[in-house]
């Protein structure tokens, strides 16, 4: 039963699209209703399944030999041409990410009720995107994983270029092509994993049982890690995200920043580091150096920007830098912190973009210098934005603080000099984050209200609902992080076990 439900997670959005095909685009109300219903259904299912996984925790997995403890494991032969299987399963990490995705998709559908253009196509694309993201998090077969991973390129461009604002074509192209560039790097190494590991299988678990020859790892790991990092906008591949986000419509920004950027980090953790721990040990201490840009300079760049979406994009860049800091720590606390940050930042940035979108719908500008005092006119949205801001600067009580403290403590346990330096810099740069967030909030919400905004109205029920739910999630994780930590620890333990078991190769020469 649960297994069936679990597999339905990515099927339902697809079915919704198929159901909607015969409906003419003029029946916008009906279409919206259908999509909202399906999104909510998936949300409920995922929450139930997450609860099930939490209940099941501690019990041994169905396959005792497997290095990962997976629930709802499904394994069906799929493409005998290159013996790819359809393997999906759930553990603490990905079930939480699925829940995050479900929330964000639900919110995305709700906020884009009155989007300009062909709504039928738009919602269909959102559902396709949702399918791909769900699939990425669920799948444990590399082909399946990659298929879902690459699928998003198909939707992203159309959504941004057709429904976006500003330099939409440029932004969409930049985003899509950069992501495609990243995934091409991944694809090149996937074949290597298949043949070099000797497992002759795409099954993540099977490959994890083997040890991959070092000389292959040494060049494959950086390729793959970077490939994934591209979609998490790790420096120097971050350039797509500001333009992409600013061009994208609200829902797409939410999805892109909220869940798609996490797919990269998830891939780094689940595939790259899990399968090639030896190389990870050699490379990651150097990768950390890149974070100086993400974590330390990112907030400063956000300071210089006037466009709300650019500011938020750069804040996401810095937050995702923290994820990589946690990954590079390679300690249980660090990895847990990274995973927590994935989830927390998902909700956080979802809330950010949702409120920004709603405000933009009313003010028709995203330039903070033109706004001011709109707190008076739309207190609810204003408070939503401020809460998002506080969560963003790591205020205790919100999930961000939990994640960041985990990351900092975990990263500090990593002995390597470079990591130490970056960790210290990261801790000290929480001030900069505060600066740009407060500056934005003050410029936008406080001070005198311009004459032209006298007629503004506060959010309607639908919008308030989205904000309330997202805030509730942020608070829930922030106030009782215990269960989440337990859930994540189960799925991180095997990964860490593999990393700690990996022996440092004698030749620590880079690019050997």
Measured from the CB of residue 241, what is the shortest distance to another protein in angstroms?
12
Distance of alpha carbon 21 from alpha carbon 78, whole angstroms: 27
Measured from the CB of residue 423, what is the shortest distance to another protein in angstroms?
8
Distance of alpha carbon 7 from alpha carbon 12, whole angstroms: 9
What 3-state class would DSSP assign to 62? coil
> What would you report as the CA-atom Rg of the chain, rounded to the nearest whole angstrom?
22
Measured from the CB of residue 484, what is the shortest distance to another protein in angstroms?
9
Tokens 């759930």 identify what position? 90
* DSSP letter (8 states) at residue 272: I
Measured from the CB of residue 333, what is the shortest distance to another protein in angstroms?
5
Tokens 């689940």 identify what position? 270
52 CA to centre of own chain:
23
Q: Which is nearer to another protein, 70 or 290 (CB)?
A: 290
Tokens 């930590």 identify what position? 485
Neighbour tally for 415: CB within 10 Å: 9
Distance of alpha carbon 152 from alpha carbon 179, whole angstroms: 9
Measured from the CB of residue 202, what is the shortest distance to another protein in angstroms?
10
Q: Which is nearer to another protein, 397 or 512 (CB)?
A: 397
Q: Which is nearer to another protein, 223 or 456 (CB)?
A: 223
Q: Which is nearer to another protein, 424 or 510 (CB)?
A: 424
Inter-residue contact 231 to 263 (CB < 8 Å): yes
Measured from the CB of residue 48, what is the shortest distance to another protein in angstroms?
25
Q: Which is nearer to another protein, 63 or 370 (CB)?
A: 370
Cis peptide before 321 (omega within 30 of 0): no
Measured from the CB of residue 420, what is the shortest distance to another protein in angstroms?
4
Q: Which is nearer to another protein, 277 or 481 (CB)?
A: 481
Here the tokens at position 33 are: 């209703």
Q: Which is nearer to another protein, 143 or 251 (CB)?
A: 143
460 contacts: CB under 8 Å, gap ≥ 6:
none
Q: Which is nearer to another protein, 61 or 475 (CB)?
A: 475
Q: Which of 356, 359, 336 is nearest to 348 (CA)?
A: 356
Facing residues of 139 across strands? 88
Q: Which of 295, 369, 281, 361 is nearest to 325 (CA)?
A: 295
Measured from the CB of residue 300, what is the shortest distance to another protein in angstroms?
4
């Amino acid at each position: 039963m649960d297994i069936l439900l679990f597999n339905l997670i990515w099927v339902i959005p697809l079915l919704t699209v198929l159901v909607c095909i015969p409906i003419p685009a003029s029946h916008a109300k009906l279409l919206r209703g259908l999509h909202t219903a399906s999104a909510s259904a998936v949300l409920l299912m995922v929450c139930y399944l997450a609860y099930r996984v939490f209940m099941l925790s501690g019990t041994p997995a169905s396959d005792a030999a497997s290095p990962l403890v997976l629930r709802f494991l499904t394994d069906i032969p799929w493409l005998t041409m290159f013996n790819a299987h359809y393997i999906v399963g759930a553990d603490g990490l990905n079930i939480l990410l699925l829940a995050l995705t479900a929330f964000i998709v639900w919110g995305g559908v709700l906020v884009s009720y009155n989007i300009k253009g062909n709504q039928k196509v738009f919602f269909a694309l959102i559902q396709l995107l949702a399918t791909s993201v769900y699939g990425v998090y669920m799948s444990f077969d590399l082909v399946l994983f990659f298929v879902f991973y690459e699928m998003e390129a198909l939707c992203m461009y159309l959504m941004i270029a057709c429904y976006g604002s500003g330099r939409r074509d440029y932004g969409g192209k930049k985003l899509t092509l950069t992501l495609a560039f990243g995934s091409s790097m991944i694809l090149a190494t996937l074949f290597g994993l298949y043949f070099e590991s000797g497992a002759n299988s795409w099954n993540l678990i099977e490959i994890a049982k083997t040890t991959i020859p070092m000389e292959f790892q040494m060049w494959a790991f950086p390729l793959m890690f970077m490939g994934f990092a591209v979609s998490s906008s790790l420096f120097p591949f971050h350039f797509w995200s500001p333009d992409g986000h600013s061009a994208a419509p609200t829902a797409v920004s939410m999805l892109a920043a909220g869940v798609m950027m996490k797919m990269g980090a998830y891939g780094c953790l689940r595939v790259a580091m899990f399968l090639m721990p030896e190389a990870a040990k050699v490379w990651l201490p150097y990768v950390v150096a890149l974070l100086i840009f993400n974590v330390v300079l990112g907030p400063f760049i956000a300071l210089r920007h006037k466009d709300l979406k650019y500011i938020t994009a750069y804040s996401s860049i810095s937050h995702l830098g923290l994820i990589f800091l946690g990954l590079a720590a390679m300690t249980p606390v660090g990895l847990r912190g990274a995973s927590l940050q994935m989830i927390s930042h998902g909700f956080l940035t979802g809330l950010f973009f949702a409120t920004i979108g709603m405000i933009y719908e009313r003010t028709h500008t995203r330039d903070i210098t033109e706004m001011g005092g709109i707190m008076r006119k739309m207190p609810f949205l204003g408070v939503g934005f401020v809460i998002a801001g506080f969560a963003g600067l790591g205020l205790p009580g919100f999930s961000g603080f939990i994640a960041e403290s985990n990351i900092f403590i975990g990263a500090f346990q990593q002995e390597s000099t470079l990591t130490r330096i970056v960790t210290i810099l990261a801790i000290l740069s929480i001030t900069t984050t505060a600066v740009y967030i407060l500056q934005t909030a003050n410029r936008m919400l406080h001070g005198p209200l311009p004459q032209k905004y006298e007629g503004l109205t506060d959010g309607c029920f639908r919008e308030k609902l989205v904000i309330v739910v997202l805030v509730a999630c942020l608070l829930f994780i922030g106030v009782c992080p215990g269960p989440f930590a337990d859930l994540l620890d189960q799925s991180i333990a095997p990964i860490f076990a593999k990393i700690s078991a990996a022996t440092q190769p004698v030749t620590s020469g880079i690019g050997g």
